[in-house]
Chains A and B, each alone.
Chain A
Amino acid sequence: VNTDDLIEALSGDVRRIPAGRAAQRVACCTLVGLAAAAAVVWLTLGFRPDLTAVLDEAGFLMRQGYVLSVAGFSALLLLRLGQPGAPLRLPLLGLGATLVMILIAVLFEQSALTGPAQAEAWFGQSWRSCTLNVAAISLAASPFLLFAARRLAPGRPTLAGFAAGLVAGAVAASAYGLYCPEGTASFLAAWYTLGILAAGAIGAAAGRYLLRW
């Protein structure tokens, strides 16, 4: 193809692109991923029976606050990684601050407990299944996030896949939180975080191949 002809063809194909369309798509796909993950939890595990009663409990709110904050900042990280030349400072600071907050909560919780109660806070009743469930549920959300990422222009596909996986893992954790009976900060910081990171690793492996453009 002649380059002049290519330029003619491309400039014949311009439609108005509203500012912020990329951000809207990432936000929209994150919400759809959350809905898909919640649907999977509802259909397979079922929501916890006392869900309406715990909606205002500190443990429940802390968990949703933590995983939704991770989801939001990871989504922003995904967006920025897909916008060539965009700064990553804000999402990285947000993720760092979220981690610091949960670590402080763990320190407070553990310092107030003694003996076997400490281990009880770490492992709860369901630590064996939590990480695996979060990672598995994330597979329901990750296609939407990878779709959003494919429309972006990530210079580092593996890293962008990791960010997409983190978003999928965090919304999966939020959905799993509607079933999970645990309420301690230590359990949340250990097993939920591990599940989100596992989802990130899956996303990184997928992104390496799927997010090239």
Chain B
Amino acid sequence: VKTLEARLKPLMIAGLEGEASAWREFLKLLRPALHAFFNRRQFYSGADVEDLVQDALLAIHAKRETWRRADLVTSWCFTIARYKLIDHLRKSGRAKLVPLVDDFVLLNDGVEDGAVRQDLDKLLATAPPRSGRSREARRDERRGGQGQSSSRHEELDETGVRP
């Protein structure tokens, strides 16, 4: 399965070349992803998600010359979407509820797969193999086994399995 990034990038480039059909395809692909993005970040405001999607589509269309070929299309799009969301929350007086640190990018469910997944894969590849095993040990623990027994089983010391 191609990631959203891999599908969007050629369409973006063709759209910048002036191909209307590619740009239509681009916006259509982006629409459900934006919908999921805003839906997940409503902060109980009951905002009209479809309005936000339209706002973001308009901005993405109007500002497409600010995309650099060196950057990810998905992170460009979702940075604009996030700006539109914050703008909306500020206008409705709820800006104070936007977390200062945008930690919800880690709740990746495939929408922003380009940027976030790449970073995560890179980070996980550098993690020592032990932490991978201890994660399994922790899962054993959750299934009912004792921490000590699973550490013996995995040949790790006790500190190695502490979360």
Report which of A19, A84, A85 forms a contact with B16, defined as CB distance below 8 A: A19
Bound Cα distance A212, B55 (Å): 14
The answer, among B16, B18, B20, B83, for a CB contact under 8 Å with A155, is B83
Most chain A CB atoms below 10 A, which of B16, B61, B68: B68
Interface 9-mer from B24-32, B39-47, B155-163: B24-32
A14 at the interface (CB under 8 A from B): yes
How many whole Å from A9's CB to the nearest CB in chain B?
A: 9
**CB < 8 Å neighbour of A84 from B20, B53, B76:** B76
Q: How far is the CA of A101 from the CA of B115 in the complex (A)?
A: 36
A196 and B61 alpha carbons, distance in the complex (Å): 35
A7, B28: Cβ atoms closer than 8 Å = yes
A86 touching B71 by the CB < 8 A rule?
yes
- B1-55 interface (Cβ within 8 A of A): 15-21, 23-24, 27-28, 31, 50, 53-54
Interface check A10, CB cutoff 8 A: yes
- Taking the complex as formed, is B94 at the interface, i.e. its CB lies under 8 A from any CB of chain A? no
The A contact surface, by secondary structure, is loop
In the bound complex, CA of A3 to CA of B82 (Å): 19
Q: Mark B65-93, 1 if CB is under 8 A from A, else 0.
A: 11111111001100110110001000000
Q: Does A12 contact B (CB under 8 A)?
A: yes
Q: How far, in whole Å, are A152 and B65 apart by their CA atoms in the complex?
A: 8
User: Bound complex: CA of A153 vs CA of B66, how far in Å?
Assistant: 7
- Set of chain A residues within 8 Å of B24, measured between Cβ atoms: 7-8, 11
Given A7-B24, A83-B71, also A14-B18 (CB < 8 A): yes
Cβ-defined contact, A82 with B66, below 8 A: yes
What distance in Å separates the Cβ of B116 from its nearest Cβ neighbour in chain A?
12
In whole angstroms, what is the CA distance A12 to B15 when docked?
Answer: 11
Beta-carbon contacts under 8 Å, A80-101 to B: 82-86
Instruction: Number of A interface residues at 8 Å Cβ cutoff, please give it.
Output: 27
A210 to chain B, nearest CB (A): 15
Most B CB contacts (10 A, CB to CB) among A8, A19, A85, A86 go to A85
Interface pair A1/B54, CB less than 8 Å apart: yes
CB within 8 Å for A10 and B66 given contacts A85-B79, A212-B87: no
CA–CA, A155 and B82, complex, Å: 9
A43 at the interface (CB under 8 A from B): no
Q: Which residues of B contact A53 (CB under 8 A)?
A: none
In the complex, how many angstroms separate the beta carbon of B100 from the nearest chain A beta carbon? 13
Q: Is the CB of B27 within 8 A of A7?
A: yes
- Decide: A14 near B67, CB < 8 A? Known: A1-B54, A84-B80, A85-B76: no
Flag if B18 contacts A85 (CB, 8 Å): no
Is there contact, CB below 8 Å, between A10 and B72? no
B residues near A152, Cβ cutoff 8 Å: 63, 66
Task: Tell whether B95 is near chain A: CB-to-CB under 8 Å.
Answer: no
Which residues on B sit within 8 Å (CB–CB) of A151? 65
- Cβ of B64 within 8 Å of any chain A Cβ, yes or no, is yes
Residues of A within 8 A of B19 (CB): 14
- B23 contacts across to A, CB distance below 8 A: 10-11, 14
Which B residues are in CB contact (< 8 Å) with A14? 15, 18-20, 23
Contact with A along B124-144 (1 / 0, CB 8 A): 000000000000000000000
